[in-house]
Amino acid sequence: MAGLITRFAPSPTGPLHLGHAFSALTAWDIARAEGGEFLLRIEDIDQPRCRPEYETGLKDDLQWLGLSWPEPAMRQSNRLPAYQAALERLTAMGQTYACTCTRADIRAALSAPQEGATPIGPDGPVYPGTCRHAGHPSRGAAIRLNMAAALAHLTAPLVITETGPLHPGRHSIDPDHLLTHVGDIVLARRDIGTSYHLAVVLDDAAQGVTLVTRGADLYEATPIHILLQRLLDLHHPAYHHHRLIRDDTGKRLAKRDDARALSKYRAEGLSPAAMRRLLGL
């Protein structure tokens, strides 16, 4: 793939573990094999959970693995105006609304007898639409995508180009699935003014990413990203969702799983080559 640009996009909310090493090395190896570029992006929009020492630590870990990237790395906390501009654009297109529901409000609405079983989307139970026509002011509220309005805007099918081992090929996205099993997702949380979905789409576009490399846990979120790219007139990158590294009980590794922190393996004297073997690379 000529001019391939891929990336590793960790959040500095904990130490990097084996799963992160696998993700970063997978992206790096693809970039190397294709003569492309490997970028780092610091996903630090959730400021209260981010710590500078985790960021220093993750860069040390990546360098130890033999990875390098152009500095300064993109940092989401510097990009809030870009997120705001995109949000205003979607709002001007009539595709957003302000939502004042708390988690408890949503739980209560979903447990109402007439609701039936709620599908679980990439962000949890599909939002019941309580605030969709409430006309709340946006100040102090979360901003949601009006999925039905967004889908009505489409003039051509949405397609995912996947190059990863789990679902390779070109897959069309079913608009009905987006409506019923994804729904009115949050574009901007009230506390941070954006969301993972909006930020990741805008950042990948701003970094010129042509191949998004990440874990299979984000495969289900990809239709949202393709939709947002279309609404915002952005180029669609290809995707490579890789397998997840699991612990001995088959559970996916979590940030708090410090036992699998790369720094532990480093301290125990493991070499980067042995780390690759441990990961099956």
Interacting residue ranges for ligand GLU, rule: CB under 6 A: 9-11, 43, 200, 214, 218
Q: Provide the strand spans (E) within 166-280.
A: 169-173, 186-188, 211-215, 238-242
Closest separation between CB of residue 80 and ligand GLU, Å?
Answer: 16
Report phi then psi at 261, rounded to 5. -65, 140
CB of 100: closest distance to ligand GLU in angstroms? 27
Q: How far is the CB of 24 from ligand GLU (least distance, A)?
A: 11
Q: Is 208 left (phi over 0), alpha (psi -120 to 50) or beta?
A: left
What is the rounded CA–CA span in Å between residue 239 and residue 234? Answer: 15
Shortest spacing between CB 98 and ligand GLU, in angstroms: 26
Rounded Cα gap, residues 21 and 107, in angstroms:
36
93 or 218: CB nearest ligand GLU:
218
- In whole angstroms, how close is the CB of 191 to ligand GLU at the nearest point? 17
Distance (Å, whole) CA 111 – CA 164: 38
CB of 124 to ligand GLU, least distance (A): 16
In the complex with ligand GLU, which residue's Cβ is closer, 174 or 217? Answer: 217
CA distance 190 to 194: 8
- Asked if residue 119 has a cis previous peptide bond (ω within 30° of 0), the answer is no
Q: Who contacts 27 (Cβ-Cβ below 8 Å, separation ≥6)?
A: 6, 7, 8, 38, 213, 240
Contact (Cβ atoms closer than 8 angstroms) between residue 95 and residue 153: yes
Shortest reach from residue 44's CB to ligand GLU, in Å: 9
CB closer to ligand GLU, 98 vs 211: 211
CB 36 within 8 A of CB 30: yes
The CA-based angle 184-208-224, given to 5 degrees, is 15
* H-state helical runs in 128-251: 147-152, 175-177, 196-206, 222-231
Least Å distance, CB 218 to ligand GLU, is 5
The smaller minimum CB distance to ligand GLU, of residues 43 and 55, is found at 43
Tokens of 260: 């699998």
- Closer residue to ligand GLU, CB minimum distance, 9 or 143: 9
Q: Nearer Cβ to ligand GLU, position 13 or 118? A: 13
Give me the residue whose beta carbon is nearest to ligand GLU. 214
Complex with ligand GLU: residue 179 or 218, whichever CB lies closer: 218
Question: Toward ligand GLU, which CB reaches closer, 59 or 214?
Answer: 214
